[in-house]
Homo-oligomer: A and B are copies of this chain.
Amino acid sequence: MSLPAENMRVVLASRPVGEPTASDFRIETAPLPVPKEGDLLLETLYLSLDPYMRGRMSAAESYADPVEVGAVMVGGTVCRVLESKAQGFAAGDVVLSFSGWQTHSVADARHVRRLDPKAAPVQTALGVLGMPGFTAYAGLLQIGRPKHGETVVVAAATGPVGSAVGQIAKIKGARAVGIAGGPEKCAHLAELGFDAALDHHAPDFEERLAAACPAGVDVYFENVGGKVWDAVLPLLNTYARVPVCGLVAYYNATAPAEGPDRTPALLSRILTKSLTLRGFIQSEFVKDHYVHFLADMSGWVREGRVKYREDVVDGLEYAPSAFIGLLNGQNFGKLLIKVAE
């Protein structure tokens, strides 16, 4: 393998106001980075695009520092080792890294995880067998704790988190109700074994959701907020659990939501229904649960009990437009950028 001359990368050009636009990103080239002792020079094969990245584009306080303007956009990647200056790694190895939106990078070998291409397609380490799958697994099982026969509702249900939530709920004996945008996605939910699929574009979405949950809702895995949350809240049963994992409906908001202020109504509902709302980031659960996740989820995928769908876009230069589409629900399955063969 001869080394390429340059690194191509996507940097944050400006902080978006509302929905990100192409001009908030800039494609640059830079010299290939040089690995030090203990480092690996990596070539990105797949870049994962995920909703949390919208938060990193803003300066608002959150659980992680924002991307600086001019810096490479962050993101999980599957990479091939081009050059190893670390014991235990060799050129040609495939690793899980967090190299961001670029074709090449240098990583401390202690911060990557080697992948076995024979065990599973390597890009699943960014989806069903990676962060999104673990988000579903930890949030549903540690916070949602569905019991046999209970009803679990999840939105963005054809996405990598939502589809895993619904399928794990089924494995645990619960009823899975999925919400997605459009008939094609809803049809896919039936293929995944969801008990009901709701199109949030339907004008009578609220009524349909209520009809699909005749025994109420025991677990609502919250990853969107907005009108889905409004429709679910009145259906929540006493002692219902709401793992709050994401709120993509609000990520592009530029102004406070129209009144009245429904905070008192929400708190009152929490009180009178003994609800649990619990925000979480998957990293909180890694130490205690990641090993179990890898074992459980790998088994479920092998046995065909958890299926996954990928939406692969070819070429790093399309990452900005694909990401903008992701925030609008235009992807269908786990969104990946194929950066190199």
Q: Which residues of A contact B (CB under 8 A)?
A: 55, 61-63, 222, 225, 229, 238, 244-247, 250, 253, 255-281, 284
Q: Report the Cα distance A275→B63, complex, angstroms.
A: 12
Q: Give complex CA distance A259, B258 in Å.
A: 6
* 28 A-B residue pairings within 8 Å (CB atoms): A55-B272, A62-B272, A63-B273, A63-B274, A225-B264, A244-B270, A244-B271, A245-B271, A247-B267, A253-B264, A255-B260, A256-B260, A256-B265, A257-B263, A258-B259, A259-B259, A262-B262, A263-B266, A266-B266, A267-B277, A270-B277, A270-B279, A274-B278, A274-B279, A275-B278, A276-B277, A276-B278, A277-B277
Q: Which residues of B contact A265 (CB under 8 A)?
A: 256
**Bound Cα distance from A245 to B258, whole angstroms:** 28
Query: Do residues A267 and B253 form an inter-chain contact, with CB atoms below 8 A?
Result: no
| Closest 6 pairs (CB-CB, A-B) | A259-B259, A256-B260, A257-B261, A270-B279, A271-B279, A250-B264
Query: Considering only CB atoms, which chain B residue lies closest to A259 in the complex?
Result: B259
Cβ–Cβ < 8 Å partners of A278 in chain B: 270, 274-277
A257-B262, A274-B281 known, 6 other contacts, Cβ within 8 Å: A61-B272, A222-B267, A257-B264, A261-B263, A266-B266, A270-B279
List the B side residues contacting A257 at CB < 8 Å. 259-264
Expressed in whole angstroms, the minimum distance between the Cβ of A265 and any Cβ of chain B is 8
Partner of A258, one of B261, B267, B272: B261
A22 to B222, CA, bound (A): 44
Q: Which of B63, B267, B276 contacts A250 (CB 8 A)?
A: B267
Give the docked Cα–Cα distance between A266 and B257 (Å): 12
Q: Which of B262, B267, B275, B276 contacts A256 (CB 8 A)?
A: B262
A222 to B266, CA, bound (A): 14
Return the chain B residue nearest A269 by Cβ.
Answer: B279
Q: Give the CA-CA distance A271 to B229 in the complex, in Å.
A: 14
Q: Which residues from chain B contact A281 at a C-beta distance below 8 Å?
A: 274
In the complex, the answer to whether B272 meets A63 with C-beta atoms within 8 Å is yes
Task: List B contacts of A275 (CB < 8 A).
Answer: 277-279
Q: How far in angstroms is the closest Cβ of chain B from A42? A: 30
Which of A61, A267, A271, A277 has most B Cβ within 10 Å? A271
Asked if B274 and A247 sit within 8 Å, CB to CB, the answer is no
Report how far A260 CA is from B78 CA in the complex, Å: 43
The CA of A273 and the CA of B253, in the complex, are separated in Å by: 19
Q: How far is the CB of A274 from chain B (nearest CB, A)?
A: 5
Q: Which residues of B contact A256 (CB under 8 A)?
A: 259-262, 264-265
